[in-house]
Structure 1
């Protein structure tokens, strides 16, 4: 495992953790496939623990990367407002290339991944976006939704502040899809996961995002977009033992087909 400090555009060093199988020889002339994950919200640090499901990926030569971007608290409260994504670093330093990168985010991490996909779809071949928060503007401007009032401390209050509303619309994935580069977005396959009774990341905001994505492409030259809906739960653990493993198998299959690999 390596911990790299990646210089960002605002002169902050972004921690990037790389996990890989040391028996797989890294050759810069042969880029390796990468799954890069992030969260970046609520001041929550990404706790890296053992996950046996990653072993298959590591044995297949994957680099599993974790971008400790702004919004987490890995460097205290100051870091809560700083940081940048790390995908460009992995490409520029010959770890991988854009055709071998899968981004993955869960819950608020889905916002991070979907937002990055809208802004830089040229960097990702596929993305797995699970129980995500995608229509930040729509949720935060509806005071009748159960969590809107409690989320003001995290995202701001766009009802009371036009400045906050404008700021949210610049990163909310549902909004930023309209500014995406369709010439590269068409090659970025997307696997979405939602839950019917998820009050934290309502299913309707996932479906709404998917509908807008499909409306952007009126012909056959469009990205593959898959939606998997669970009946209950928010995070993987809530699906149940067997459903969770089936979900993981489906994700690995999606990755292998998108990156044209044999997993």
Structure 2
């Protein structure tokens, strides 16, 4: 359960900031580096951060922030702190929040491993993890659910890029350009999330872990699209900027009403 104390609020804001740092560096690497430099997505970014002065400390903070963000999204999925309700649309949104929680939890774990100096930390292990899930009972269904969650999240990301619905959660004191920065960022993120979700659905359907693509793999799959790739890479960078802005100006919902429903699962 998320308790709206100052510590929790700051952890959530740190999570938005950490997400912003990840996407800014991801977009920058995609625009400036070779294909092999973004194969592992977030792992490549965390390895870059590890090389800077006090890199381990920066990664530890990033890991803490991403963990806070994952908890925030998990609370939105389970306890409905975003007040999406139990309608078909609300449930789909909350499934998307659950998938987002898993993705950012994996990022936090990767950052923590790289900070600790683990040799294999940050390498793309998407196929290995998918293979492990496929080996458990109902593994295909589990991957399918996560894939559906990401695909649904991608659709809503695309929709909000058009409607700018995300601005309802941003303080009016935010910079005037926040809306357009957010629109570009959400559009780019929708494409990448859709590719990852589709790869998980293919994995669940065919039972082949090789179908899975990571964040870096999804970006690299777009390289042959030339101008479209550049726009998407720039959009990811802008999504990072948007996340940094929302780290300061995001309206964090009060979870108190949901906390009183702890004895009842309201997914």
TM-based fold match above 0.5:
no
The structure carrying a bigger helix percent of its residues is 2
Q: Higher relative contact order by CA 8 Å / sep ≥ 6: 1 or 2?
A: 2
The structure carrying a bigger strand percent of its residues is 1
Give the TM-score normalised by structure 1.
0.27
Give the TM-score normalised by structure 2.
0.26
